[in-house]
Amino acid sequence: MDDGRFEGRAVIAGGAAASPEPHILLIDDVPEDIRATIILLRQQSWRISLASDAHQGYQRALALRPDLIVLDVHMPHMNGFSLCRLLREAPATRQTPILFLSSANSSIERLEGLTVGGVDYIPKSCAPEEVLARIKIHLQLTWRAPPIAQASSAEPEPEGDEIVLRAVMRLIEEQLDDIPSLAELAQKVGTHEKRLSRIFREHLGLTVFAYIRDARLRRGQDLLAESAMSVQDVAELVGFRNACNFTTAFRQRIGMTPSQFRQQTLGIADTESAGRP
């Protein structure tokens, strides 16, 4: 769904429209639910674009590069949390403020919305005037009028699979101690198990589970080298059931036990310290 207000405007390098007004993108599969808010927003001196599902919203966000995104949570095929994860990995939208506007208003849902990258979480029961006020606050904090000419970004725009890969890698790193199932991982980045497995094979040459195992062991190395935590504590923090499983996997990958690795690392550090004037 689209109100057509962005059509016919000049497009500058990188896909953003050359306009002195902020551009707001609203993504909601039932726009009738926020009709009063849309009417109020259109009364401002802003450009307003609409998307009627998460996939359309994702494509329009990358193409139009709006200054602020208002995003619903419960949508078919891909929910707002999954979409937010993808937008946070794409260079074109990485810094764009995302405000959740949703009837999904439990404390768990609000926390997840802020955790995945939303800057605000607004219940649909809020008066349109409050939604407008919150949008104005975030625009005041972030929006700057674009220059007449704008150079294209030096960072190449990643392909769709690369953004999914970045999003799930970040998710894995953040939840090493309790990683969701493959199906849940795929759902959280808006895809399915088969595609996610293919992406890992093609881009990393690994299965998802092999990547998770490597990520846990890499983090385990860091914790052993940088902290005085016990091997058992390190094992639990990186998601191994017990220290024995961690030690076995660590030895297979590194060629020594966690205790030997720590001793060797500390020995190298002590030698370097002793050699300093």
Mean pLDDT across the chain, nearest whole number?
85
**pLDDT score for 267:** 73
For the beta carbon of residue 266, count every other beta carbon within 10 angstroms.
12
Q: Which two tokens stand for residue 30?
A: 């039932």
Within the chain, strands assigned E span 23-27, 47-51, 68-71, 98-102, 120-123
Residues of the chain with CATH 1.10.10.60: 160-274
Buried b / exposed e over 125-154, threshold 16 CB at 10 Å, is eeeeeebbebbeebbeeebeebeeeeeeee
Taking the C-alpha atoms of residue 6 and residue 154, their distance in angstroms, rounded to an integer, is 26
Q: Which two tokens stand for residue 121?
A: 């979480």
| Cross-strand partners of 122 | 101
**pLDDT score for 157:** 61
Taking the C-alpha atoms of residue 40 and residue 42, their distance in angstroms, rounded to an integer, is 5
Model confidence over 196-234: pLDDT tens digits?
999 999 999 999 999 999 999 999 999 998 888 899 999
Q: Do 80 and 109 touch, CB atoms closer than 8 A?
A: no
Residue 96 gets which letter from DSSP? Answer: S
**pLDDT score for 2:** 43
Question: Is pLDDT above 70 for 19?
Answer: no
> Mean pLDDT throughout 173-178?
88
- Helices marked H in 124-181: 128-142, 160-174
Q: Which two tokens stand for residue 268?
A: 């190298």
Taking the C-alpha atoms of residue 13 and residue 206, their distance in angstroms, rounded to an integer, is 36
Taking the C-alpha atoms of residue 210 and residue 66, their distance in angstroms, rounded to an integer, is 37
> Mean pLDDT throughout 153-168?
77
Taking the C-alpha atoms of residue 176 and residue 203, their distance in angstroms, rounded to an integer, is 21
> Mean pLDDT throughout 20-27?
92
Taking the C-alpha atoms of residue 226 and residue 232, their distance in angstroms, rounded to an integer, is 15
> Mean pLDDT throughout 32-49?
93
Question: Is pLDDT above 90 for 256?
Answer: yes
Q: Strand 47-51 relative to strand 23-27: parallel, antiparallel, unpaired?
A: parallel
Residues of the chain with CATH 3.40.50.2300: 13-142
**pLDDT score for 121:** 96
**Higher-confidence residue: 254 or 19?**
254
Question: What confidence category does residue 25 fall into, taking pLDDT thresholds of 50, 70 and 90?
Answer: very high
- Indicate the range of 4-18, 57-71, 115-129, 228-242 predicted with least confidence: 4-18
Q: Do 109 and 73 touch, CB atoms closer than 8 A?
A: yes
CATH topology of domain 160-274: Arc Repressor Mutant, subunit A (1.10.10)
For the beta carbon of residue 255, count every other beta carbon within 10 angstroms.
9
- Percent over 70 (pLDDT), the chain: 84
Helix, strand and coil content of the chain, in percent to the nearest 5, comes to 55, 10, 35
Model confidence over 50-59: pLDDT tens digits?
999 999 999 9
**pLDDT score for 265:** 83
The CATH code for residues 13-142 is 3.40.50.2300
Question: Is pLDDT above 90 for 186?
Answer: yes
Question: What confidence category does residue 12 fall into, taking pLDDT thresholds of 50, 70 and 90?
Answer: very low
Taking the C-alpha atoms of residue 264 and residue 234, their distance in angstroms, rounded to an integer, is 17
| Cross-strand partners of 99 | 70, 120
Q: Do 13 and 151 touch, CB atoms closer than 8 A?
A: yes
**pLDDT score for 67:** 94
**Higher-confidence residue: 21 or 244?**
244
Distance, CA of 238 to chain centre: 21
